Chain A
Amino acid sequence: MKVLALIAVLLTTAMLGYATLDMPGWGDPSSPASTHVSPVYIQEAYKKTATPNIVTAVLADYRSYDTLGETVVIFTAGVVCMMLLRKVK
């Protein structure tokens, strides 16, 4: 059983390592992640939301519905914990 797990882990390591050959180098300013959408956010966020912190602007302004869903997730987790851990009389 442990041998099977080790084989699965080594196979996944080999596949992920092969995939890193196509990844952009560390800190590359012209990587795809920092050239398509993020310049727009960096340049427009302060003008549109009047928030200097871009992370806050994206989290609470552009993606406010996403954050609402996030609070639903953590509320559900809290309710589930309470239901599991309450004392049954």
Chain B
Amino acid sequence: MEAMDYIISKYNYWMYIILMMIGFYAMIAKKNLVKKIVGMNIFQTAIILFFISTASKKGGASIPIIQNGHGSATDIINTAHYVNPLPHVLMLTAIVVMVSTFGVAIALLLMLYKKYNTLEEDEIISILKTENGK
């Protein structure tokens, strides 16, 4: 029973590790550049999920919006009623960075495809080598 409780309290981290390692493997082992970028996105998504999970609180905590905020908000605010807002804020920033890197990477891939007519890393390297050889 104790082992079960331990696994339940930790298995979310293990899921994020698995997801993150899927992205990491795609980034370093795949030859296709689009697959590398998709791996980078999976990696960043795992980090975002990890941060959001650190914000959660057991025992009936709700979203971090003060209830009756525009009415009688002079009541004492109980910290246990709201989840931790800071990871949510930081991950909003991380999502913006993620979208920016994804957009720039896709634009670079388009230019690579126009120049070399392929998106496979080894083919591009062999083309570069033959160009340098002559």
Q: Enumerate chain A interface residues (CB-CB to B < 8 A).
A: 1-2, 5-6, 8-9, 12-13, 16-17, 20-21, 23, 25-29, 31, 33-34, 37-39, 41-43, 45-46, 51-55, 58-59, 63, 66-67, 70, 73-74, 76-78, 80-81, 84-85
Which among A13, A21, A51, A73 is the interface contact of B17 at CB below 8 angstroms? Answer: A13
Residue of A nearest to B11 (CB): A26
Within B3-29, the residues touching A (CB, 8 Å) are: 8-14, 17-18, 20-21, 24-25, 28-29
Given the contacts A26-B12, A26-B56, A1 and B29 also touching, CB distance less than 8 Å: yes
Q: Enumerate chain B interface residues (CB-CB to A < 8 A).
A: 8-14, 17-18, 20-21, 24-25, 28-29, 53-59, 61, 64-66, 69-70, 73, 77, 79-80, 82-89, 92-93, 96-97, 99-101, 103-104, 107-108, 110-111
Given the contacts A27-B57, A80-B107, A84-B108, A41 and B85 also touching, CB distance less than 8 Å: yes
Task: List 5 A-B residue pairs with CB atoms under 8 Å apart, sorted by A's residue number.
Answer: A33-B86, A58-B85, A58-B86, A80-B107, A85-B107
4 more CB-based (< 8 A) A-B contacts, given A73-B97, A77-B101: A9-B25, A53-B65, A54-B82, A85-B107
With A and B bound together, what is the CA distance between A73 and B100 in angstroms? 7
